[in-house]
Amino acid sequence: MKKKVLQFFVATLLLFGSAPVWAYSFSDVAPSGQTLYYKISGTNVIVTYPGPSTDRPWYGYTMPNGDLTIPSSVTYNGTSYSVVSIDKYTFRDCNLTSVIIPNSVTSIDGGAFSGCSNLGSVTIPNSVTSIGNYAFDECGFTSISIPNSVNSIGNYAFNGCSNLTSVTFGNSVSHIGHAAFMYCNSLTSVHYTGDVSQWCGIEFSGSYSNPLEYAHHLYIDNNEVTSVTIPDSFTSIGDFQFRGCRSLNYLTIPSSVTSIGEHAFHGCSNILTIVTKAVNPPSCGTDAFTSVPDYITLTVPCGSLSYYYETEPWKSSFPIKEEDCSQSIEDACEGDFRVWAAQGRIHLIAESEGEAVIYDIAGHPVSMLSSGSSANVPAGIYLVKVGTLPARKVVLIR
């Protein structure tokens, strides 16, 4: 009989290649009483699952449940290891009610807490830099705070968190994956610890990557955002940047912006005024201003009205008016100097000697100009200053 059992075991090894290999190196009891499993990675360990696959991470083992505190370090065979990561699908479908993650952990991998529908609270420390795909898919918490240390959030990371009402972002988040907040239908507010400039630097990867699509209300420094001036350091406004932001009433686009991404302001249904400083209309991606009211006022720079009337989607989306041009071109014959635009150049006649400096609308010097000469610069709005005399504005149209 023993010989037959041995023969069967040998045949099994030959059939499947080797004896079962488990994903973990050792187990230990957590401070909260649950048995956790770890795999060694150099001088560190990763919290992992004991079962045969990510589809059945706890098959044959007792799932952790209740309130879980993950330790920052564990000791095995006399060696202490730092806990640095939570492996993919480690706690998939576990009946956890709360989780405290230690500040030794730097990554929460894909599906780590997927399907933990009773998980009412989770503490993410200011050591985590990445949250993987599906990491908290279909969890039950009502609010989540993503610390300043996190710079990337994966695809579907919070997909299906239908109880989620509020999310707080740290100011280091630079990338949010596709559908990261899909089906988060209960969201009512997004809180951001950075400023408008930093928010404009976040890359939203696709539909439902921006939680504003559900929340509609953005808070910066605990103040609801009703007016946005895009910083003049930006040449483009990204896809989905403010999609669904219904708290937004006033928008100013600087002269530096040449393109506006897909769905950038889609669903900003309470915008009242848009002011653009760009003489040449920025190009717009698909549905950049869809569902923005068509009765709002779009104010464009002096001398650029015809450009906007000729360019989609500007010409067919909003009533357009030109800023007051009465003070835009200083070309009086009397005074210390005269400056004007003609034949695609800026011209200067000055009573005093010395060169004039031509500045763009952002205040950057672009050219020098002496009395009786002209400068060839791109179309735009410029300030011309001679010595200590007050600067004068001139609009150059090509």
CA 245 – CA 227 distance, rounded (Å): 11
Least confident range of 4-13, 288-297, 340-349: 4-13
CA 288 – CA 243 distance, rounded (Å): 9
Pairing relationship of beta strands 44-48 and 35-41 according to DSSP bridges = antiparallel
Say what the pTM is: 0.78
At residue 204, the pLDDT reads 97
- Give per-residue pLDDT as tens, 52-71: 888 889 998 999 999 999 99
CA 377 – CA 345 distance, rounded (Å): 7
Mean pLDDT of 176-185: 98
Query: H or E element: which one contains 3?
Result: helix 2-16
At residue 249, the pLDDT reads 96
At residue 325, the pLDDT reads 60
The more confident residue out of 3 and 185 is 185
The more confident residue out of 22 and 198 is 198
Bridge partners, residue 229, by sequence: 252
- Give per-residue pLDDT as tens, 204-223: 998 899 999 999 999 998 99
The more confident residue out of 111 and 367 is 111
The more confident residue out of 2 and 127 is 127
Q: In b/e form, how buried is each residue of 149-183, taking b as 16+ CB within 10 angstroms?
A: bbebbbbbbbbbbeebbbbebbbbbeebbbbbbbb
Model confidence at 84: pLDDT above 80: yes
Percentage of the chain with pLDDT > 70? 90
Report helix, strand and coil shares of the chain as percent, to nearest 5: 10, 30, 60
Mean pLDDT of 77-105: 97
At residue 97, the pLDDT reads 98
At residue 240, the pLDDT reads 98
Tell me if 365 sits within 8 A of 341, measured CB to CB.
no
Residue 67, exposed/middle/buried by CB under 10 A (0-12, 13-18, 19+)?
Answer: middle
- Give per-residue pLDDT as tens, 297-328: 899 987 788 889 889 999 888 889 888 765 44
Model confidence at 8: pLDDT above 60: no
